[in-house]
């Protein structure tokens, strides 16, 4: 079947089966920044924004996204670059596998929460696992990013 | 890659259509957020979407709050009305389920219909006055629904919680924020008295009715009454060991948190 999605503000038509998950559809169509970790809703690396809200693409059927906005990290390139620099400065990334999904989640957080506390930030990020770093450096980088008003 | 084999994805425009599709074939089922279906189902003939049926609203009525079955857990968590009901007992329970990305997908209806023993939402719903409204079978209390696992196929439309002046307490004990509860505990108090519920024991959430009758017969709540209440709770609700913890540990958790819950709901708000 053919499914219409708006990916990073561009209308797209994808060929998929009724049981396909969005993660597979996106990867088959070369959106390779969207990654597969656990495939069971536990790790967060498949996160994309669905109408601006973070969701695990491994568990959202592509057909259920018909007509909706999907944002991958390419859609927030400028903000992701800023975050990348801050993560780098804090030594908060190593292999980088988790960076796109964390960037999307932090971006959504910044839009959604007004003056979040440290605990609000941590709670917002539950379920975004990073295999490499400790989370403290990430926390510092995220704090700088949230303070950035540019 | 986990494959889900779906023959047809059906998008009914009316409830009647959706219900007819559901009962027309044993192998048809409804999909809400689909987060659980991904983990549990391999093969479906017709997957019936509830997306276009206007079931995604929280409505405040004179004497109740009605939560549409397609409202996401995140929307429940953020609702000011639910945050004010019984000290936000339901919102605080939902807040502890997985991460925000799953809560943006998983729905309250899927959570009720899942009949999950580990559920964090049955205890808070059970200590309030909660009814379920189905397309065919109409209104059923949540307790009756849980007591009757063999219910015929139906579509859950909404969850109706009576608005009452009440206090509430909820505690989920889990090893990590992503894990299921070792045990969860909810307590409430209204003018009519206390309600006490344990869930994930590892059995499905249930009210401790004997303990409730006992404590509601007491004018003064002192240590002795608390001890006896806990003894009755542990006597009447089934608790067993599982991979998460031993029976003794769960009983200890239940005693501490039932008492803490009762103390909280009779304490001054400030
Ligand atoms: C990895 C993971 C961890 C979780 N951890 C917890 C936890 O710690 N605590 C907790 O409380 N919950 C937990 N959950 C459960 C979650 O909160 C949801 O309850 C669950 O995902 C079901 O909601 P859904 O919208 O995804 O339903 P779906 O997966 O779409 O459906 C679930 C079932 O309900 C049926 N159904 C759905 N809606 C209706 C309806 N309106 N009428 C009739 N039948 C319906 C479906 O046919 C299906 O059988 C977890 C889920 C996942 C995936
Ligand atoms: S791949 Fe989706 S949550 Fe891990
Ligand atoms: S940097 Fe390697 S997974 Fe996060």
pLDDT digit string, tens, across residues A105-142: 999 999 999 999 999 999 999 999 998 987 899 999 99
Is the Cβ atom of B156 under 6 angstroms away from ligand 1? yes
Nearest CB neighbour to A56, from listed B51, B95, B101: B101
DSSP B53: S
Cβ separation B44–A127 shorter than 8 A: no
CA dihedral of B35, B37, B42, B47, whole degrees rounded to 10 = -110
* pLDDT given at position A150: 64
In this structure, the answer to whether residues A67 and A124 fall within a common structural domain is no
CB pairs under 8 A between A and B: 85
CA dihedral of A14, A15, A20, A22, whole degrees rounded to 10 = -10
Identify the band that residue A96 occupies on the pLDDT scale cut at 50, 70 and 90: very high
In this structure, the answer to whether residues A82 and A25 fall within a common structural domain is no
* pLDDT given at position B4: 87
* Cα(A54) to centroid(ligand 2), Å: 12
Is the Cβ atom of A38 under 6 angstroms away from ligand 1? no
**Is residue A150 domain-resident?**
no
Which residue has the CA at smallest separation from atom 3 of ligand 2? A41
CATH superfamily membership of B166-265: CO dehydrogenase flavoprotein, C-terminal domain (3.30.390.50)
* Cα(A54) to centroid(ligand 3), Å: 19
Tell me the per-residue pLDDT of B53-83, one tens digit each, with 9 for 90 and over.
999 999 999 999 999 999 999 999 999 999 9
Containing structural domain, residue A14: 2-74
How far B104 CA lies from chain A's nearest CA (Å)? 6
Name the residue of chain A whose CA is nearest to B105's CA: A55
Q: Which of A59, A74, A89 is the last residue of a domain?
A: A74
Q: Where are the domains of chain B?
A: 5-48, 58-162, 166-265
For residue A149, count other CB atoms closer than 10 A to its CB. Answer: 4
In this structure, the answer to whether residues A70 and A93 fall within a common structural domain is no
How far A4 CA lies from chain B's nearest CA (Å)? 15
How far A141 CA lies from chain B's nearest CA (Å)? 20
What is the SS3 assignment for B77?
A: helix
Question: E-strand spans in B98-165?
Answer: 130-134, 138-141, 156-162
Q: ipTM of the assembly? A: 0.95
Mean pLDDT for the stretch of residues A14-32: 97
Is the Cβ atom of A133 under 6 angstroms away from ligand 3? yes
* pLDDT given at position B129: 98
* pLDDT given at position B2: 75
In this structure, the answer to whether residues A69 and A130 fall within a common structural domain is no
Task: Mark which residues 31-60 of B lie under 8 Å from A by CB.
Answer: 31, 34-35, 38-39, 44, 47, 49, 51
At residue B39's C-alpha, the angle toward residues A17 and B26, to 5°, is 70
Q: Which of A58, A74, A90 is the last residue of a domain?
A: A74
What is the residue-level pLDDT of chain B in tens, covering all 270 positions? Answer: 777 889 999 999 999 999 999 999 999 999 999 999 988 888 999 999 999 999 999 999 999 999 999 999 999 999 999 999 999 999 999 999 999 999 999 999 999 999 999 999 999 999 999 999 999 999 999 999 999 999 999 999 999 999 999 999 999 999 999 999 999 999 999 999 999 999 999 999 999 999 999 999 999 999 999 999 999 999 999 999 999 999 999 999 999 999 999 999 999 765
Task: Mark which residues 99-158 of B lie under 8 Å from A by CB.
Answer: 99-102, 104-105
Predicted TM-score (pTM) of this structure: 0.96
**Is residue A104 domain-resident?**
yes
Beta bridge partners of B64: B162
In this structure, the answer to whether residues A66 and A84 fall within a common structural domain is no
H or E element, residue B231: helix B223-236
Is the Cβ atom of A94 under 6 angstroms away from ligand 3? yes
In this structure, the answer to whether residues A103 and A137 fall within a common structural domain is yes
The alpha-carbon radius of gyration of chain A (Å, integer) is: 15
For residue B203, count other CB atoms closer than 10 A to its CB. Answer: 14
Pick from A110, A114, A115, A118: nearest CA to A136: A118
Q: Mention the CATH class of domain B58-162.
A: alpha beta
Is the Cβ atom of B76 under 6 angstroms away from ligand 1? no
* pLDDT given at position B134: 98
Residues of B with CB below 8 A from A100's CB?
A: none
Is the Cβ atom of B119 under 6 angstroms away from ligand 1? yes
Pick from A142, A10, A67, A120: nearest CA to B51: A67
């Amino acid at each position: 079947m053919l499914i219409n999605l708006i990916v990073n503000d561009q209308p797209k038509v994808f060929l998929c089966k009724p049981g396909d998950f969005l993660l597979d559809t996106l990867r088959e169509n070369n959106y390779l920044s969207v990654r597969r970790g656990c495939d069971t809703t536990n790790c967060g690396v498949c996160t994309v924004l669905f109408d601006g809200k973070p969701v695990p693409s491994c568990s959202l059927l592509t057909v259920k996204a018909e007509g909706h906005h999907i944002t991958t990290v390419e859609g927030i390139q400028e903000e992701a670059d800023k975050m990348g620099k801050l993560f780098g400065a804090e030594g908060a990334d190593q292999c980088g596998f988790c960076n796109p999904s964390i960037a999307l989640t932090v971006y959504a957080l910044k839009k959604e929460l007004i003056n979040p506390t440290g605990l609000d930030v941590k709670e917002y990020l539950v379920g975004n696992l990073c295999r490499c770093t400790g989370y403290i450096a990430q926390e510092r980088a995220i704090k700088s990013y949230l303070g950035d008003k540019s | 890659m986990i494959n889900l084999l779906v023959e047809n994805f059906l998008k009914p425009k009316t409830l009647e259509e959706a219900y007819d599709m559901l009962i027309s074939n044993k192998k048809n089922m409804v999909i809400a957020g689909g987060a659980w279906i991904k983990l549990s189902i391999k093969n479906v003939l017709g997957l019936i979407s509830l997306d276009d049926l206007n079931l995604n609203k929280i409505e405040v009525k004179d004497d109740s709050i009605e939560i549409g079955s397609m409202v996401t857990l995140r929307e429940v968590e953020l609702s000011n009305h639910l945050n004010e009901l019984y000290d936000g007992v339901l919102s605080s329970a939902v807040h502890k389920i997985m991460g925000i990305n799953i809560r943006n997908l998983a729905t309250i209806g899927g959570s009720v219909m899942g009949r999950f023993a580990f559920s964090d939402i049955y205890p808070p719903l059970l200590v309030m006055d909660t009814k379920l409204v189905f397309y065919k079978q109409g209104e059923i209390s949540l307790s009756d629904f849980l007591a009757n696992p063999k219910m015929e196929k139906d579509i859950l439309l909404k969850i109706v919680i009576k608005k009452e002046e009440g206090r509430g307490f909820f505690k989920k004990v889990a090893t990590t924020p992503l894990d299921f509860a070792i045990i969860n505990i909810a307590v409430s108090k209204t003018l009519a008295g206390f309600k006490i519920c344990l869930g994930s024991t590892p059995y499905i959430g249930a009210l401790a009715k004997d303990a409730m009758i006992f404590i509601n017969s007491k004018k003064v709540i002192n240590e002795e009454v608390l001890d006896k209440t806990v003894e009755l709770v542990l006597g009447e609700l089934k608790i067993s060991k599982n991979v998460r913890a031993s029976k003794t540990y769960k009983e200890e958790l239940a005693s501490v948190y039932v008492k803490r819950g009762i103390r909280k709901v009779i304490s001054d708000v400030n």
